[in-house]
Structure 1
Amino acid sequence: MSHTNRQRESSQPEIEIPPTEDLMREHGILKRLLLIYEDAGKRLLGYKPLEPQITYPVILQSATIARNFIENYHQELEEKYLFKRFLKEQIQVDLVRTLQEQHDAAINLTSLILQSVSQGDQYMQSRQYLAHLLSLYKQMYEPHEAWEDTVLFPTFREIVTPAELQALGEKFEKIEETMFGKNGFQRILKQVEQLEKAFGIYELSQFTPHFTNKQ
């Protein structure tokens, strides 16, 4: 690559991610945590080898990411900067109230998951209970994030000005760096990848169905 090309590339402004896209990207982290929860549930219920020395640490670390990154950071951004605006404008009020209730439920579920993991692997009943908690979290958050991605975020972009959207994006970036350091999202993503690898569910291709063509 020539010096001129390198100079041109280095002089290009960094592309700013809109705050709604940033929140959707964080939903990608949540989706991958839900896949881990689903796999953990299969192990706890005997559909896959349990391997307690792997399963319980993975659940613990996944729930810790859910608490720190999803509930204490991502949800807080939505509540403080999006939900309040919707309530102020009296737009999508019922949806926002439901989403808020589910945020609160997520916090309670994670507390129960962390408590259950700390009690260890003594009884089948406790494994079933933990699997149920993980299932409830997944069952709630799959439609939750779908409604935010398809209804809440697009509507938000309609009720704020481009200048407000840009300012909010910059604010989100500063908050993320304060809480998780520079390139915090990438570090969280790497942690999730390591948990996926521990469960053997990292490779995307394994989720592809394969069909045999009949003559």
Structure 2
Amino acid sequence: MEGPEPGNEATDPRRRRWLAGAGLAALGGLTVALPLAARAEEEKSTDVLAVEDLMREHGVLRRALLVYAQAATRLRARETIPADALHRTAALFRHFGEDYHEHSLEERHVFPAVVATGGEPATICRILATQHERGRQITDYILASSAGKGIGQADMAPLADALDGLVRMYQHHTAIEDTIVFPAWKRTLTPARYSALSETFEALERRMFGHDGFEDAVDQIGRIERAFGLADLAALTAPPPPASPAR
């Protein structure tokens, strides 16, 4: 854009009008650019990358394990439990945990890369894969045992044993993955490859569930917790310890 001929800027009206217009145009461009940059930065900061995605999925599965532990305790006390809610827990563990998280993510993308590097993490991945198979067997059993309207007296102790075994196994399983396997996997990836796989995980989740599978799983486990009386977090606060014994 060409301005008027140089002159006395303080007294030339045309010069003043041109400078004002140029300044507003520049500010207008800046006001457009700043929100766009801010939005891009915000979107970048809220992206869920692959390891975070895997670990928050573990959070859903751990909440399911808490339901299993509560169910096992009540079954051992010969108390009635909501069999339909237990069945929904097992169905969630099957579809979100075993079919998606384990089979489609860990077994296809994470474990092979870690096994290829060798060493202790590779050995751990082989054990974890075996535990996946055992977990699916136990899930089959829980689904079958909770398919009716209630749990029979004769089935209570065996089901409690199966639930306790699964809880014990997966408490260690998920902790080892979070602290050893996922960091080892991330070290095998370049930043570009890690970013691409993060997008792959998100696309796969939407393809398998038709929407945000994590948000749906969180909603499901929340409703299950209410059925088992586990929804009030404050009520689960541990009591204070007893007074220290006199020495």
TM-score normalised over the length of structure 2? 0.77
Quick one: distance in 1 between partners of 2:151 and 2:198? Answer: 47
Q: 1:82 to 1:212 in 2, by over 3 A?
A: closer
Equivalent residue number for residue 13 of structure 1:
43
C-alpha deviation, 1:212, in angstroms: 7.6
Equivalent residue number for residue 78 of structure 1:
106
Answer yes or no: is 1:190 the counterpart of 2:219. yes
Residues 58, 174 of structure 2: 8 Å contact kept: yes
C-alpha deviation, 1:41, in angstroms: 1.1
Task: Say which SS state the counterpart of residue 28 (structure 1) adopts.
Answer: helix
Residues 64, 89 of structure 2: 8 Å contact kept: yes
Letter paired with 1:57: D
Equivalent residue number for residue 84 of structure 2:
57
CA displacement 1:152-180 (0-9 Å, x = unmatched) = 11111222111111111000000000111
Equivalent residue number for residue 68 of structure 1:
95
How many residues are treated as equivalent by the alignment? Answer: 206
C-alpha deviation, 1:117, in angstroms: 1.7
C-alpha deviation, 1:119, in angstroms: 5.5
Q: Which runs of 4+ in 1 moved over 6 A?
A: none
User: Unpaired runs of 5+ in structure 1?
Assistant: none
Equivalent residue number for residue 139 of structure 1:
168
Among 63, 67, 70, the residue aligned to 1:39: 70
Quick one: distance in 2 between partners of 1:67 and 1:213? Answer: 41
Q: Between the two structures, name the one with larger relative contact order (CA 8 Å, sep ≥ 6).
A: 1
Quick one: distance in 2 between partners of 1:116 and 1:129? Answer: 10
Quick one: distance in 2 between partners of 1:213 and 1:145? Answer: 32
Moved more, 148-157 or 64-73: 148-157
Among 71, 85, 88, the residue aligned to 2:116: 88
Structure showing greater radius of gyration is: 2
Quick one: distance in 2 between partners of 1:211 and 1:21? Answer: 33
User: Unpaired runs of 5+ in structure 2?
Assistant: 1-30
Alignment RMSD (CA, Å): 2.2
Residues 76, 160 of structure 2: 8 Å contact kept: yes
CA displacement 1:82-136 (0-9 Å, x = unmatched) = 1111122224221011000001111111011111223564642211111111111
CA displacement 1:28-77 (0-9 Å, x = unmatched) = 00100001001111221227x41x5xx10011000000000000000011
Identity of aligned residues (%): 33
